[in-house]
Every structure is written in structure tokens, then in C-alpha cells.
Amino acid sequence: MNSISARRVHLSNALARVTKRSSGRVLIVRRKYHDESFGFRKAREFTIPDYTSAQLANRATNAPLLRYADALRTHGHRAASIDPLDLLRRERVAALDPVRYGLDDPDRAFDVDGILWTGQEKQKWTLDNITSFLNSVYVGRIAYEYMDLPSKTERLWFAKLLESQSALEPMTAIDSGRRKNVHALLAKSEVLDSFLQAKFPNLKRYGLEGGESMLPALDALFEAASKAGITQLILAMPHRGRLNLLTGLLEYNPTALFHKIKGGCEVDESLDVSGDVLSHLVASPTLQYGETDDIKVSLLPNPSHLEAANPVALGKARAKQYSLLRALSNGKNNQDCMLGDKVMCVQLHGDASFTGQGVVMETLGLSGLPHFTSGGSVHIVVNNNIGYTTPASSARSSLYCSDVAKMINCPVLHVNGDYPEDVVRAVDVAFKYRNHFRKDIVIDLIVYRRWGHNELDEPAFTQPLMYEKIRSRRSVPRLYEDKLISDGVISPEAAQAVRDSYKASLNAALMDVASYVPPPVSFEGAWKGMVWPASPDARQEETGVSSTVLRDVGTASVHVPEGFEIHRRLNRHVKNRLGSIESGEGIDWASAEAMAFGSLMLEGCDVRIAGQDVGRGTFSHRHAMLVDQKTEGVIVPLNHALTEAKGKLELANSSLSEMAVLGFEYGASWERPDLLPIWEAQFGDFFNGAQVIIDTFIASSETKWLKQSGIVMLLPHGLDGAGPEHSSCRIERMLQLTNDSYTAQEKPNVNMHVVFPTTPAQYFHLLRRQIKRNYRKPLIVAAPKGLLRLPAASSKLTDMGSGTAFQPVLYDPATVKNPKAVQRVVLLSGKIYYDLAKERATRNLESSVALVRIEELAPFPFAALGEALAPYADANRQLEVLWVQEEPRNQGAWGHVRERIEEVLKGLGMEGGVAYRGRKEDAVPAPGTGKVYGVQQKAVVESAFQGL
């Protein structure tokens, strides 16, 4: 810290520099807005050599042929044979007729240089040859949509790849070894589904019948990725086909599967967890393709809410590559640390959910953003052309379910799932695109669903013609098996042996269920050293920090380099922070937050805060990033000035999304326990746009999947006349989601912490507590709005110093010295404390009314509250106890705290219970009329002192 102290020199000098700027300003040339902030990753730019002058001349000379070729590239998908059931309504595509372009002589020869990309020296082709060639590429069982891409480079890349590959190396050339492997995957999948149907006929297994080509698609993708040097693959998928993938590719123990089907738990039952359903099981094997090409595939847990796992996977994939972000910030060449080099995100979707679920569009929207990209995802839509019982015609307004991906200029490959080898080829093209451009690409794998939504449904109730056609079909594995036998690749006996052998292994696995014991929980990789929160080894280190470090960090947080011109109104912000640090008093919320961030960074922890206005702060209070007013260059002072810090602060101003952004940050928290991940809502009310992530991941992952997370949700909360949608983070909902005990526990293991802090120091300790424990818990903060600049709601530097810590209950210093004089104890939480304290002083009731703040609502602080109330209880057992809140009675914390407070009072011998004071029940959190709000708020405050 010596160099930091030296840089600080004297706070008085820093103050002087803010108030008197040098007239000889030095212009610093910087990159544009946000490029300077840590974690910002611009997309890599590519170019392909443009047409030569000879090619341009030939394109002009043969313009009709050029138009015809581009028509095949653009519209070929509309005539392609991509639907196994031929349900898509296909009309004749006039644009594919060469006569439309004046080309009516099939024997006429054309120079195709610059028009077709055959890769051959021969450039004279007849119209008949050209038509056959283009139809073979674009009107087959794979269809391509890339001509609408705005990038000429990408369009040329596709044309050159597809046309030269087709001309020089026929895409039918898949060797016999690979074909046998494809057969084995298909056959084993069919055997598994048949086996489960026979042994467990009432099981909803969401089998893969009709969509078995998904397995060779993923196998081809895993292999291509591993051979390209990718070592980690993050996979999100829904329920359909999950069991087939787990056992067929991801090496999941069939005995463990049967154990779960028979009612067993997938994890050690002594951990007191609920587990999850069969179709949400996971695996993380390391697969080997070749002697050295290993790749770890991590299939993430998923809730039943379709597509909700997508942003989680994206966030986890980016977090796995954090070292690459750090390498770039340390000056290494951009080409040496491209995102996507070693980690890839793969997302599987259903056709109905891909079109219907908004989180898909939100996540796609993140895919190319500088603080959210992970280097390109491969999307595979397993397209049944039906969602539950809703046909495609009623499920989407577009021709293809994949059309939503065009919002990010994403290329799409449609492929007929009846032809597994074509599926493998489509995957090969898709991966090459992703790996070259590091952008998302979609494979629309068009298949069918042999049964209903699950095996117990009767689909013919609603789709009789569709299922008449399906039930008359031979299965995909059998069709492919017939093809290989016909081609002499495999004999009928060998094909049957594959099935018999796998069935025998499944029977053996089923016999082993009685002796099966789930493996113990272990913490590996980045989580090594962590423990289960309920473990006796769970501990928390001190959160207080020495005053020297606090002053150094606080000063660094507003460090403005010479020649960097900040907005003139921010001079006051800098001056006030430096002044409070110098005096040690009046530390506001933003200053305390910066000290928490910076102190953690000095300890080697990274901090990432994401949201729609996090750099500046919704209420213009944070200013963790500074923008040069002349160049729009950006600095993050904590990164710029804390040169000794091993940690970094990433300010990820996000898109206007709640669900995907929160899911993204949550995924990062799974990957990196050494990261403090924060999502800040613009207003606390807007969290409900991410309710699915909160319900199915944040509140329940530890209980369902043994997945810990240190995610922090900052939800600005408080009634201040701003109306129904800018007042409440719905504390009652957060508290309802906790498993907080109604009685005191020696070591409570609550699923997430819910807090409503009233001082900056409390907030400081809460942030540091997230990291200074050897386990992780989500933290929900009802964050301040009006308190951000309220002088009374400030802290002293000593409140954050060594030996200090977060206090779940804050005593009332005005009354604790003379408890006998107290006539009423008012319990409360949050900002209303300052309104009540002001009113109490006005009424001169400081000695007779005690205001006790419950800062942590879950886990409820039974012991701390008992200690705070004990002096009053000893003095007067009949003491009146109130709970006061500004939220309506059916909202806020009242429903959560009432029984728990009464439990504490009974323990103290106080039998009078606790009475409610506050707003009456309401359908909205706050009124939208200013006068009504004022009247209500005045009544709430006065009710606390009524009768005294």
C-alpha cells in the first residue's frame, strides 16, 4: 500500500486539484465510449479479398446469371427438402426459375468466375451444369439462410465454403467409421427409449424418438470443437432427449438413472436437499476425441421453464474465460486471447419455446454486446413443428421458428433430421462459422415427436393427421440402419449386436440399483476450499478494513488523471468524497460501496456489476466510471489508480433486459466464487421481469442442485411519491421465497439473505461478507434511493474499520442507557427509520420511544433482536411493541416478521405481542397521486407515536 499512499500524498492537495484545474490542459487521445473499461471486448473484424477487376467485369457482363445464382442462394431454402413429414406449405418458388432472368438455353456456356465459387480452374460452365450445381448446394436436405446478413464478408465466406466444398470435396464423403458411430448413437438412443417404456411404462421420460439425429449433431459438434482446441463446452438444453444425451454421449451412469426413476435421490440424502426431477439431471464428463483432443462438456441444470437456462449458460461460458479478459487488460495482443478460443456455449431449444419465450430474444441480444459476449454460441433448435398440442401455424407468426434469430443478423441452417449425415454436415458448417467469426449461428434441426408432449399423452386428440403420418413411418435409427446395410457399411448381424449389447448393459445397470449410493459432494476447480453452508467448517472472516486502506481506496475511487476532463458538475462529487474521507465522517453510500469494491480488489477479488445504468448509477450517485468531456474516453478510477490491486472492477452497462442479464450474472456466479457478481435493477420494482430466474435459480438452486451462488441483487426500494412502479422491490416476495425458520436455530442455513440496510457502513460490510466466507449465498438488498444523499444516513470511517462487522439489528442509542423511561418500542426496517427519528425529535420523545432497526430480515436475527430488546423487557414486561412499515399491510416485511418477533418476545417474557402500524392493504405498492402519498406517509409516521 506504500505506493498508493504516496500517490494519495495529502487529501488537501487532492481537494485543491479538484477545485483549481490547470489551464494548460493536455489532450489525452482515448478510444470511444466504454472501450476503456475493463471487460469491454469489441468484436473481431474480418475481411475477405474483394472481387478482382476481371471478376467485377464478368459479373457485369453476366448480370442475369449473377441474379440467378443469388436467387438460389437467397431463396433456395424455400424449396429445399428439409421437412421429414413434409408439413411445411411449399409453393412454387418462381425466383428459382432461370427463365425468369432471361436464361433459357441449358447448353449455353458461361464464365462463372466471380459468380460461382467452385475452386476449380475450369470457369466455363453450361447453364444446365450451373442449375444442377446450385440446386445440389442450396435446394437439398440442408438449406441455408445467409444472404440477408449485412456483412459482405460473411456472405462471401458462406458462398465460398459451400460452393467450393461441394465442387471439390463432395459432402457425401463421410467415412465408414464415422457412419458406424452415428449408427451406434441412434441405435442406443432407440434402445434406451424402448427399454424405459418396457420397464417403466408410466414414466414421463420425454424421449427422443423422432429426433434422434440430435445425438450425432452434438457428437459432431463436440468433436469439431475439441479438434479446434476448445477445452470447455457449456451446454444448456430442455427436457426432451435429455436422458438419451446423458446416457448416450455424456457418460451418465445408467444405474444412477434407474436409481432416480425408482424414487432415489441423485445426491447424498444426508445433505437435506430436495433434488430435482428426472428430466433435469446433469453431467460434466471429459470426453476424448482422438489421443489428445479432450473436451469437458458441462450440461447445466435447468428448470421446467423452457429457455431460462440460456443466459445462465452464456454467463458461465464468459466467466470461464475471465483469464482472457485479464490478459487483454495486461497488454497482451488481442489475437492471443480471443473469447471463444477455449470455451464455447451451446444452447439447445425447442421450436415452440424458441419462438415464444422472450428470454430467447433477450439472450440473443446479449450475444454480441462487449461486456456479455462469450465468443459465439451454437444454437440447435430441435424442431418438432409442434409445442405441446399447438401446431406451428398457431405458435408463430413467421415461416420458420428460427426467424427470431435474425434480430442479431444470425445465419440459419435448416436440416432434415431424417438424414443424420446431412445433420453432421450442417454442424460442420455451423461450427466453422462460429469459430471463424465468433458469432452465434442457428441450426434448425427439423424432426418430429413420435409421442405426445410426454409418453402418457395421446397426440391424436389434437393432431390426428400428423400422427397418422408419424405412426406409419419407420424410425430414424432403423432408416439409417437400412441405409448402412444397403451400402455395405455394416451387416444386419453387426447392427443387431449393437442393440443387443447395449440392452444387456442396461439390464445389468438396472440390477445394480439396490446397491447404488450417490457419490459424495466434492468441491473442485475454482470451488476448491469451499464448503457446504450447513457444514461445521463453514466460517466467515472479518469484514472490517483498516482506516489506511479505506482512505487509500476512497481516494483512488475518484482519482482523475491529469489532462482528463470530467463533467464540471462531477467536481463537487469528487470534492465531497475526498472531504468526507479526510474528516472520517459523512461517508455516503456510493463512497462506502467504492471502498468495499476497492478493498476486495486489493485482496485479489474481482467485482462485476451489471445493469442498465451501473456506471453512473440510476440516481447519478455512483460515478464509478468517468467520461472525458472532450473525447468520450472512459476510465474506471479504481482500475486506473489501484495499480497494486490484483482484482478488477467490471462495469457492465447492459441492454434493457432483466431476465437475461440477471441470468447471465447468475451463471457467472456459478463459475467463479472469487467474483463478487452484482445485478442492479434500475428500480427495485423491475426485478419481476426476471422472476423466473429468481424463483427457479437464485432461490432454489442450492436446494435442488447443490449449486451455491454469491450473486447480489441490488433493488432500489422505498416509497417516496414515485408511484406504483418506482417504489417497491416487493420485499414480501423475496421473503416468501426464503426457507427462513419460524423459530431460532443455532446455525440457520437459509437459502438466501434478504436485507434492508439503513447505513452505508452496513452495506459495506454486506458486500464484503459475500466474499469473506468459505461458502456462498445469494444476497437480496432492498437498496436505498432517497438515502443515497441524506446526511443523516451517512457513516463514519470507523464504522468500517478493523474489528467492525455487519449488525443484523441496530440498537437505539438514544434510549438504551435509560430503558425504564421507554414506553414504546418501535421495530422497523429500512428508510422509514429516518422519518420516524425526525418525528420523534419533533415530538421530544427521544427517551420514551425506542426505534430498533432489523437490518437483516432473513435469516431472521432471533438472538440479536432478543439482545436488543432485553433491556426494555427487564424494565417493563408490559411494554408496548409496534411494527411500523411504509409498505401496505399485505406487502413489505410484516407478514414475515410477525410470528418471529412474537417468538422473541415470548422468550423475553413479553406476552403482549406486536401490533402493526402502517398503510392498509392495497393492490399497489404505492399511490400514483402525490397528495395521496403525502397524506398516507404522514399518517404512517404519526401512527408510531399515537397516544403518547
Residue 322 pLDDT > 90, yes or no?
no
Q: Cell 473499461 belongs to which residue? A: 37
- Name the DSSP class of 43: P
Residue 336 pLDDT > 80, yes or no?
no
Sheet holding 712-716, edge to edge: 649-653, 606-611, 675-680, 712-716, 779-783, 753-755, 856-858
CB 431 within 8 A of CB 225: yes
- Could you give the percent of the chain with pLDDT greater than 70? 93
pLDDT value of residue 423: 97
pLDDT value of residue 48: 83
Closest CA to 195 of 639, 435, 501, 518: 501
Residue 848 pLDDT > 80, yes or no?
yes
pLDDT value of residue 173: 67
CB 877 within 8 A of CB 910: yes
| Mean pLDDT value of segment 692-711 | 96
- Name the DSSP class of 50: -
Identify the weakest region by mean pLDDT among 447-461, 545-559, 745-759, 868-882.
Answer: 447-461
pLDDT value of residue 838: 97
pLDDT in tens, 644-695: 999 999 999 999 999 999 999 999 999 999 999 999 999 989 999 999 999 9
Range 526-560 burial, b when 16+ CB lie within 10 A, else e: bbeebbbbeeeeeeeeebbbeeebbbbbbbbbbbb
Please tell me the distance from the alpha carbon of residue 124 to that of residue 121, in angstroms, as a whole number. Answer: 9
SS3 percent helix, strand, coil of the chain, rounded to 5, is: 45, 15, 45
Question: Is the whole model's pTM more than 0.85, yes or no?
Answer: yes
Please tell me the distance from the alpha carbon of residue 125 to that of residue 132, in angstroms, as a whole number. Answer: 11
Identify the weakest region by mean pLDDT among 298-307, 321-330, 403-412.
Answer: 321-330
Closest CA to 517 of 255, 725, 724, 285: 255
Q: Angle between the 659-671 and 358-366 helix axes, to the nearest 10 degrees?
A: 60
Q: Cell 450425432 belongs to which residue? A: 216
Q: What is the DSSP string of 274-286?
A: ----GGG--B--E
Residue 873, all three cell numbers = 423487557
pLDDT, greater one: 301 or 41? 301
Interacting residues of 556 by C-beta distance below 8 A, sequence separation 6+: 4, 7, 8, 598, 637, 638, 641, 642
* Alpha-carbon distances, residue 875 vs 237, 361, 817, 863 (angstroms): 62, 61, 12, 19
CB 42 within 8 A of CB 370: yes
Please tell me the distance from the alpha carbon of residue 362 to that of residue 483, in angstroms, as a whole number. Answer: 42
Residue 560, all three cell numbers = 482523475
pLDDT value of residue 788: 95
Quote the Cα angle for 436-440-446, to 5°.
115
Label the pairing between strands 626-627 and 634-635.
Answer: antiparallel
pLDDT in tens, 600-629: 999 999 999 999 999 999 999 999 999 999
- Could you give the percent of the chain with pLDDT greater than 90? 80
pLDDT in tens, 167-198: 545 444 689 999 999 999 999 999 999 999 99
CB 275 within 8 A of CB 527: no
pLDDT in tens, 781-839: 999 999 999 999 999 999 999 999 999 999 998 898 899 999 999 999 999 999 999 99
Q: Residue 124: what are its φ and ψ, rounded to 5°?
A: -100, 115
pLDDT in tens, 75-130: 999 999 999 998 777 778 999 999 999 999 999 999 999 999 987 766 789 999 99
